[in-house]
Structure 1
Amino acid sequence: MKRYLVYGLAALLFAACSQEKKFHEPSADATSNELMISDSSSAAKIIKTADMRFRVKDVQQTKEKLGNLIKAEGGTLAEFSIHSDVYQSEKVRYSTDSLLELTSYRTEGSIVAKVPADKLDEFTNKVAGMAVFVDQQSMKFDDLSLSYLSNQLKNQNRIAAVGQLNKHANKKSNNVETALTLKDSYVDQKLENMRINDRVKYSDITLAFYQDNTVKKLVVGNDNLSDYRPSFFRRLGLNIQNGWVIFMEFLLILANLWMLILVAAVAFIAFKQYRKRNRKAAI
């Protein structure tokens, strides 16, 4: 009886161990299948970048032509801007109620685009054909092959490390956080390689263009209020009328002061009589 009991316990223990082993082993396989991403790109990772500065006849028209050219070459427009700098502005008399505004300004534009790397030379040649004069043109080559290979090798190490952690994991030693850290690092490196592949396929190019100084003529309203005053004869008539009004107002003021005027007149007469008596007494 005891022998059968021992055999039964041994069978249960073996079954439990087998279930635990099955629980962990598929986890390592699933992790490997999840992390392993095929990458057949083994060519040199050469990144091209270019920039140009040139003069054109019309900035707005050139911007539209460049947009169409970028689209035709299979590229994408990332950024563009147009701005004008005013160098001098002056207003001269044009008529009684209007002025002629003269403005001297310079317009500049810039475009940042992504162009297929294999068409970059052809694209820059077409852009140069639009220019009146090319101030500056350059192209830069960066080899990121070693960085790309480094990311690949590190990712292989991370895959192997995650598999080992899952294989030897047990209830007493939980390596979930370590495994997640390795997986996140793998994703970061993989995304970095994807960015490198994208920069290898599409080159960044910066285009700066400008046009000659332009003088803009515009008729605007006259904001000088002195020009809106009436003519000389009309103002003369108005001033005469205004003077007559002031004179009448002065008479009204004197009428209000009649008592003071009377007192002054009496005092003046009395003073004259006083002086006349003094002269007779002296004689």
Structure 2
Amino acid sequence: MMKKYLFFAVISIAIWSCNSSNKMESADTTEALNEGSADTVSSDKIIKTADMRFRVKDVQAVKEKLSNSIKEEGGMVVEFTVQSNIMRTEKTKYSTDSLLELTSYRKEGQVVAKVPSDKLDDFTNKVVKMAVFVDQQSLKLDDQSMNYLSNALKNRNRVEAVQQLNKHANKKSNNVETALEIKDDYVDKKIQNQTIDSHVKYSTITLNFYQDNTVQKLVVGNDDLYDYRPAFLNRFWLGIQNGWVIFKEFILILTNLWVLILLAGAGYFVFRHYRRKRKMIGA
């Protein structure tokens, strides 16, 4: 009796699995057929990309305002950078042990954001109000309607091809592998269309902004060792003292060489005496 119940349970599970698989395939088929219909892509699949470059009074303050405005419009910041480019640096004497460092730099910022396409114009108008001067502003429209329709129709053909392969499937053929390849292509095309939908819904805008050159003043330590030497009068007196020390050392050196000095003197007198004597003989 127990074996009989177990047999019926296994049969029921197998039937339920087949029905679930058929329902999933039926759902994919219906979705592909609907996606491939002309009504699905009746609206234009246009991707908007905007760029702006403008001058502002304060880069950091504008960056914060942009972040808030993007959130208010329902968008999100994808990337942002703020950097300072040094244009020129000079150091002037401030005191004996310090220097005044003058640095001229330009602060620049960049924000890359995704904004709902239907609110892109309103957002760009807000950005223009933050700018002191707009250097450049552009908008690019990329129509992906044909690519979207092409992917949808190809997916419809793929589903129909898989259905035909399933009807004529047998153990000796390679229909299973072929069906898997077609399903993988179906997934790729579906993801491509979802990516297009995402880009159509949210436009990408790149904002480059900068402020006027700024001069920063900073007192830093003096690294020129020459400025740390004593004053002229002190150095003059120290030179006299140092000369007297050198003179005394020279005298001490001569006293250590008294033997050589004595020999040199004796040699000089001997040479002089010999020279006189030679002159007298010659006369």
TM-score range, shorter chain: 0.7 to 0.9
| Cα shift readout 1:91-132 (whole Å, capped 9, x = no counterpart) | 111111111111112121111110011110000000000000
Q: Is 2:6 aligned against 1:33?
A: no
Distance in 1 of aligned mates of 2:30 and 2:199: 23
> Residue 263 of structure 1 corresponds to which residue in structure 2?
263
Distance in 2 of aligned mates of 1:179 and 1:241: 104
| Cα shift readout 1:8-32 (whole Å, capped 9, x = no counterpart) | xxxxxxxxxxxxxx9xx86666534
TM-superposed CA distance for 1:35, in Å, is 6.0
Compared CA separation, residues 35 and 102, structure 1 to 2 (3 A): farther
> Residue 246 of structure 1 corresponds to which residue in structure 2?
246
Compared CA separation, residues 252 and 190, structure 1 to 2 (3 A): same
Q: TM-score, normalised by structure 2?
A: 0.85
Aligned 1:1-283 pairs, distance under 5 A: 30-34=24-28, 36-37=30-31, 39=35, 41-42=40-41, 43-282=43-282
> Residue 5 of structure 1 corresponds to which residue in structure 2?
none
Superposition RMSD in Å: 2.3
Distance in 2 of aligned mates of 1:41 and 1:61: 44
TM-superposed CA distance for 1:274, in Å, is 2.2
Compared CA separation, residues 120 and 230, structure 1 to 2 (3 A): same
Gaps of 5+ in 2: 1-14
TM-superposed CA distance for 1:236, in Å, is 2.0
Compared CA separation, residues 152 and 281, structure 1 to 2 (3 A): same
The 10-residue stretch of structure 1 (82-91 or 196-205) with the greater mean CA deviation from structure 2: 82-91
- Please say if residues 48 and 140 of structure 1, whose CA atoms lie closer than 8 Å, have aligned partners that are also in contact: yes
Distance in 1 of aligned mates of 2:256 and 2:26: 114
Distance in 2 of aligned mates of 1:134 and 1:236: 64
Gaps of 5+ in 1: 1-21
Compared CA separation, residues 253 and 36, structure 1 to 2 (3 A): farther
Distance in 2 of aligned mates of 1:36 and 1:185: 17
TM-superposed CA distance for 1:272, in Å, is 2.3
Give, as a single letter, the amino acid of the residue that structure 1 aligns with 2:87.
Y
Compared CA separation, residues 66 and 116, structure 1 to 2 (3 A): same
Q: TM-score, normalised by structure 1?
A: 0.85
SS of 2:184 mapped into structure 1: helix
- Spell out structure 1 runs of 4+ moving beyond 3 A: 25-42, 278-283
Compared CA separation, residues 233 and 124, structure 1 to 2 (3 A): same
Compared CA separation, residues 176 and 255, structure 1 to 2 (3 A): farther
Instruction: Among all aligned residue pairs of Structure 1 and Structure 2, give the percentage whose two residues are the same amino acid.
Output: 63
Distance in 2 of aligned mates of 1:189 and 1:30: 19
TM-superposed CA distance for 1:242, in Å, is 1.9
- Please say if residues 78 and 112 of structure 1, whose CA atoms lie closer than 8 Å, have aligned partners that are also in contact: yes
Distance in 1 of aligned mates of 2:185 and 2:26: 15
Distance in 2 of aligned mates of 1:46 and 1:185: 24
Distance in 2 of aligned mates of 1:54 and 1:134: 4
